Amino acid sequence: MTSVQTGAAKAAAVWEKLKQEIKAAAPEMGIDDIGFASAEPFVTLKSILEQHRAKGFESGFEEPDIEKRVRPELKDGESASLIAIAVAYPSKMINPPKSEPGAYRGIMARSAWGQDYHQVLRAAMDKLVHFIRERVPEAMIESMVDTGALVDRAVSQRAGIGFSAKNCAIISPKFGSWIFLGELVTNIPFQPDNPVTEDCGECTKCIDACPTGALVGPGQLNAQRCISFVTQTKGFVDEEFMLKIGNRLYGCDTCQIVCPKNRGKNWDHHPEFHPDPEIVKPLLIPLLDIGNREFKERFGQSSAAWRGKKPIQRNAVIALGNFKDKTAVPKLTEVLKRDPRPELRGTAAWALSRIGGEDAMRAIGEAAANEQDGNVLSMLQKAKERLSSSETLPDKPQAEQTSNNKPEGQKEQNETSEQENGQTTEPVKPEAAAWKPSAVTGLHGTPVYYDEVLTPIGTLTLCATEKGLCHIDFGAFHVREAHLQQWARTWIGEYRYEKNEEKLNEAAQQLKQYFAGERKAFELKLDLLGTPFQLQVWQVLSDISYGEASTHQQVAEIIGRPKAVRAVLDAISKNPIPIIIPCHRISGKDGTLVGYVGGLQTKEQLLTLEQQS
């Protein structure tokens, strides 16, 4: 047995030995990955959380005291280390049942498949705590899963489990993002593990695919717009979100399904997470008759049960409306007239108006004559107006309405059975009246000013925020617009492009002076947007003088990462302000020209210009 008070000289070897023993024993405890980190405060995270709160992006499920979220603490002593664990879960289902006319189904997010992960992780961590205390009896250890004060993702990232992705998940190089996270705080001073250096690069698939634009930027989630959060709320749901929920009963996997890092990853080695298809893809209409006892028996072991049956039943009503299931009209009419819960009655009115027909119209009219709740009456009125206006429109063919039995507003990849079978069907778009600009590409976001300047190497598009020049692209704006939109969506979030010659005048003039051989250094305010690693690399590039040259290896050495040459190459290729930040001055080890964002011919022209001046 070992004492936590072991002398400093001996301590490092003692704790390293214990750390390696823990890592070796972890798989037997049901732990797929484990990492160690310092228990120092998460200083940078604090400001992020404060901004998140100020913008109204919190879900309300978080620990309200931000200090507790960023300061790992033990109740009875000083914390020294954090231990992060990860347990992988499946992303695919064997022989999943399909939705069919008259027998439509909902879908639970993969995190709710099988046994409640809180129970599984707590059992694993209990074993881990017992393992440690057998060797260090007086060790102080506190464990937490999801509901603890600390931010699981921040702990896992620091401990080297994975990197924090643009979809706000932790992505493990081995397991992808299909992992549950937990952590322990202890007074044992373990040596920290190295964080993962991999990142998302320029990929924005998750941001692009988010049904409601809840991912407002890389690693920035507006939880109030997140489908996963909305499906767990207990009240009324705005029509915008009902259209986007599709047939989701609990949670949303879209941003993980589209992630290239998850491609081909499916983990079925934990039997406790194996899904029962009839539970995770249940028939919708029978859900509306389920009582409390039956709900607990069927869904009680799932993490989806923590909010009770009301949100799931409401979401089932929404799904029936999105499927436009005419066979559901009698059951929805019963809910509308007899269910004691206002949110179920109001949602049934909405669903019936989506399905349409004389029976739906009659049910809504009869319910309106007896309804007392103001919110439900409002939804009944809107339903009546929708049905009245739809009478003048030609009916769509049934196949188009259901999009091969897909609910409207539901992206293909979220219908598990079809996604796993590799089928691709375009989802039907919701009616134009319900459309709203997405939060990511809305017309009222942060302005990005742009202008074009003619140069000896062709037209350049210059972009700036209020803070300064932020992007230079090779080509005219209309040619490069899609690329510029993707860049702004990634780094700014809510944006709009606005042509403004005045805002870019100084940058244009200095560039003209540079190409005329009259300027060797730029004096411009910049708004550099990138990862901390990229910013570090770009700063080194900025220090390379006019007419000089450097190599990727030299840059890697300057930033203290001599083995990170590939990562340096990647950061250089993503330099958002070429010429101003002179990445054209980088060459191969032997002085040969290497790739350049504007093309090798352009690079040659820039180097020739500087050599002649």
Please give the DSSP secondary-structure letter assigned to residue 193: P
Which residue intervals of 450-531 are DSSP H helices? 477-491, 501-515
Using DSSP, state whether 464 is helix, strand or coil: strand
* DSSP for 371-418, written as a single string: ---HHHHHHHHHHHHHHHHHTTSPPPPHHHHHTTTPPTT--GGGSHHH
Backbone angles phi, psi at 144, to 5 degrees: -155, 150
Tokens of 274: 């194996």
User: How many CB atoms within 10 Å of residue 211?
Assistant: 24
* Beta carbons within 8 Å of 260's beta carbon, 6+ residues apart: 203, 205
Catalytic pick among 33, 76, 146, 152: 146
Pick from 370, 306, 373: nearest CA to 344? 373
Judge whether 491 and 434 are in contact, CB under 8 Å: no
| β partners of residue 1 | none
**Does residue 359 carry a catalytic annotation?**
no
**Dist. CA 248–CA 312, nearest whole Å:** 9
Q: Amino acid identity of 198? A: E
264's tokens: 């081909």
Please identify which residue in the block is written with the tokens 């823990």: 22
Q: Give catalytic residue positions.
A: 146
